[in-house]
Structure 1
Amino acid sequence: MAPHDSSIPIHLLLLLQLLLFPLASSFLHPSHPPLVHIPTLVPHTPTPLTRSRFSAKTQLDFATHCNTSCLHRGEQEEARDQLTQKLAFETLYADGSRTLTAVDVERDEEFEANGGHFPHSLPISGFRVKFRHKRMRRQIYGADGRFNIQGDNFLLDYPFSTAVRISTGCTGVLVSQLHVLTAAHCVHDGKDYVKGARKLRVGFLIPTSTNSNNTGLTSSKKPLVRWVRVKRTRVPRGWIQGPQDVSMDFDYALLELRWPHRRPFMRLSVAPFSDDLVGKRIHFSGFDSDRPGELVYRFCPVEEESSDLIYQHCDARPGASGSGVYGRVWDNSLERWERKVIGIFSGHQWLEIDGENRDYNVAVRITPLKFAQICYWVHGNRLDCVQDQEEQKKEVLKKEDLITYIGVE
């Protein structure tokens, strides 16, 4: 990996990574993985809560410790009532009011066949965990493998254009024309909303050639940023008032903008096994605090995975929290590789594996239940989620027809 001041042209690196490798992988047809069952969440009527005090401080450098129980715990280990309590969610509105929405999970034959547990499990490859105190936290592993994304052609090109700034100092990813997915700890510390969540905003990078005198534009070094206010914020109950090691499993939040944007967004997917990702790699772009005003891209292989977390050594610094972690996932219905958000970058976690002390940067994986919850937040009902998938197929077919028409491969 090249360090920050490397002379390797970023244009060449990105073209090789984003164009040549995906093109080669497109000829590889994987064995068709089984279809993932997506549960259905049935929300109750929201209950009003007291107004938020916005008393918490934003914690950008989020770290946890994991013991054996938290590492091996997953959706397949929890009964319906435990999971539904964690899948309940708070909604924070722009005026400071908030509500709590309880949910049920619709019964189905697959759920009953598993004895009242949800069928979503991943193998744990020999984890042995022991809690240790007083360790130095590290987020750069060896040579710094991050790359600054510079130039309007790259900053505004997909998938980099899906990364947005969060006014509390984090990063988010566009997942619809109105919604941004980010980390829960960027807006809530587990007990209360952070001070900056009172007037939460999302920042869109715009070309430097744009007139900076326009309303809502500010300059932070090179790229300009257009800020948009957030209409409401949703946080899962599993994050709120939970033990720190449990909360990391639910470290995600969805922000709804006051008005839609016109940028491409990246669609969500249930996180597959790492073997089902192209190159077993994940990617994400964020606004790392040690490179102010710059969008930073990185990619790396998945090192380990549990039912709720993705362990990796992608170089990252505070400010990257909330970045959309994506990979190229095989879409059976489209019969092609698609970039999809499969997780949210959270922070790092300390583990002991095979007697050796290790720490990992960690992303919260999108499980079937979390996918169902976020989909409801975005669409409001499950029918729209199904329709959204159908629209995705139509959009891809239209793009393919257009490419064939103009003769571009």
Structure 2
Amino acid sequence: MLRRVLIFLCLTLSATSAISENSALRRLDTGEDGKGWEGVGRLDLAGRGFCTGALIAPDLVLTAAHCLFDRETGEKVDYSRIEFQAGMRNGRAEAYRWVRRAVVHPSYHFDGPVSADRVRNDLALLELAQPIRNGSVIPFDVARAVGAGDQVGVVSYAHDRAEAPSMQDICSVTGRQQGILVMSCDVDFGASGSPVFSFDGGRTQIVSVISAKAHVDGERVALGSQLDGSVDLLRNQLAAGVGVLKSTLSQARRVRVGAARNASGAKFLKQ
């Protein structure tokens, strides 16, 4: 099945124009470097690893659905032990918030076979226990329109750059089909859930969420979902009361991700 998915992606890519030159990753180490990107944060997954997420409302974080599952057991991570660390940089975040509720796309199945459906529906929305009302942490808008050939950017954390976010200003959408975006962006373990941004018209908007990495014609690519109406669907699920905590645990002690953590924090597709 995986081989079939990658062949499908190769065909999609070959029908598009050549990949434009990508910018290199740059680490946002200082407050000046990270200005405007504080709404991107690290998600500490109950001390078992981390993903990346982005604030789209004062109390809502958009990320990848597979981040909410234990990759060894397939069980859901206890939402009450997930912490969003907004703008985490060198051991300090602009804001820390626990998660109160979480919903995954209703068509996402973690234990299913690797398929285009899994990537397309790999979205989750987290409701924070308290909204972040900090003048330096501004939620991002979400947009639907992005197509092959468009330039995008990504802000992410990853296993080898876990203590500060990195930004790739320019990468490209090299293919789009069946709700999946194929992108030339540089991602690695931990970058799951990272926001993909469009900068058209001077507006910074999230247009996709990183789901996986793969190889196409020998080149590394990032795979993400085409948002379409999925974010509205997830918002409606929260409004309908979906996403009650799996269990209630004390949050008095903040879980910290140490050097001995399982650095993967996420499941990626590989060739």
TM-score by length of 1: 0.48
Q: What one-letter code is carried by the residue in structure 2 that aligns with 1:164?
A: G
> Which secondary structure does the structure 2 equivalent of 1:302 belong to?
strand
| Correspondence 1:158-307 to 2 at 5 A | 158=36, 160-168=37-45, 169-188=50-69, 192-195=74-77, 197-205=79-87, 221-224=90-93, 226-240=95-109, 241-245=111-115, 246-262=117-133, 263-275=137-149, 280-298=150-168, 299-307=170-178
> Which secondary structure does the structure 2 equivalent of 1:244 belong to?
coil
> Which secondary structure does the structure 1 equivalent of 2:162 belong to?
coil
Kept after mapping to 2: 8 A contact 1:328/1:340: yes
| Correspondence 1:120-139 to 2 at 5 A | 124=12, 126=14
> Which secondary structure does the structure 1 equivalent of 2:140 belong to?
coil
Aligned to 2:254: none
Once residues 154 and 283 of structure 1 are traced to their aligned partners in structure 2, the CA distance between those partners, rounded to angstroms, is: 15
* Distance change >3 Å, CA 197–CA 228, structure 1 → 2: same
CA shift, 1:232, in A, is 0.4
| Correspondence 1:283-362 to 2 at 5 A | 283-298=153-168, 299-329=170-200, 336-351=201-216, 356-362=217-223
* Distance change >3 Å, CA 376–CA 236, structure 1 → 2: same
Corresponding residue to 1:364 among 225, 230, 248: 225
In structure 1, the gaps of 5 or more residues are 1-63, 73-122, 128-141, 207-219, 330-335, 381-409
> Which secondary structure does the structure 2 equivalent of 1:347 belong to?
strand
Q: Which of the pair is proportionally richer in helix?
A: 1
Once residues 68 and 315 of structure 1 are traced to their aligned partners in structure 2, the CA distance between those partners, rounded to angstroms, is: 20
In structure 2, the gaps of 5 or more residues are 16-20, 241-271
CA shift, 1:150, in A, is 2.0
Q: What one-letter code is carried by the residue in structure 2 that aligns with 1:203?
A: Q
- Map Cα deviations across residues 94-117 of structure 1 (whole Å, 9 max, x no partner): xxxxxxxxxxxxxxxxxxxxxxxx
Give the total of aligned pairs. Answer: 224
Once residues 33 and 5 of structure 2 are traced to their aligned partners in structure 1, the CA distance between those partners, rounded to angstroms, is: 43
Tell me how large the CA RMSD over aligned residues is: 3.2
- Map Cα deviations across residues 114-158 of structure 1 (whole Å, 9 max, x no partner): xxxxxxxxx94656xxxxxxxxxxxxxx99921001222332x22
CA shift, 1:66, in A, is 5.1
Structure possessing the higher relative contact order (Cα contacts under 8 Å, 6 or more residues apart): 2
* Distance change >3 Å, CA 268–CA 247, structure 1 → 2: same
- Map Cα deviations across residues 346-382 of structure 1 (whole Å, 9 max, x no partner): 111344xxxx4554221111123x24313424666xx
Once residues 301 and 143 of structure 1 are traced to their aligned partners in structure 2, the CA distance between those partners, rounded to angstroms, is: 7
Once residues 196 and 236 of structure 2 are traced to their aligned partners in structure 1, the CA distance between those partners, rounded to angstroms, is: 20
* Distance change >3 Å, CA 124–CA 205, structure 1 → 2: closer
Kept after mapping to 2: 8 A contact 1:289/1:317: yes
> Which secondary structure does the structure 2 equivalent of 1:152 belong to?
coil
* Distance change >3 Å, CA 164–CA 272, structure 1 → 2: same
TM-score by length of 2: 0.71
- Map Cα deviations across residues 73-107 of structure 1 (whole Å, 9 max, x no partner): xxxxxxxxxxxxxxxxxxxxxxxxxxxxxxxxxxx
Kept after mapping to 1: 8 A contact 2:62/2:123: yes
- Map Cα deviations across residues 23-65 of structure 1 (whole Å, 9 max, x no partner): xxxxxxxxxxxxxxxxxxxxxxxxxxxxxxxxxxxxxxxxx93
Kept after mapping to 2: 8 A contact 1:322/1:345: yes
Corresponding residue to 1:153 among 32, 38, 41: 32
Q: What one-letter code is carried by the residue in structure 2 that aligns with 1:151?
A: T
| Correspondence 1:76-95 to 2 at 5 A | none
- Map Cα deviations across residues 259-307 of structure 1 (whole Å, 9 max, x no partner): 11022111111132245xxxx2111111111023111111312222223
> Which secondary structure does the structure 2 equivalent of 1:243 belong to?
coil
Does 2:241 align with 1:376? no
- Map Cα deviations across residues 300-355 of structure 1 (whole Å, 9 max, x no partner): 122222231111221122111101111024xxxxxx5422111101111344xxxx
Once residues 142 and 22 of structure 2 are traced to their aligned partners in structure 1, the CA distance between those partners, rounded to angstroms, is: 31
Higher Rg: 1
> Which secondary structure does the structure 1 equivalent of 2:198 belong to?
strand
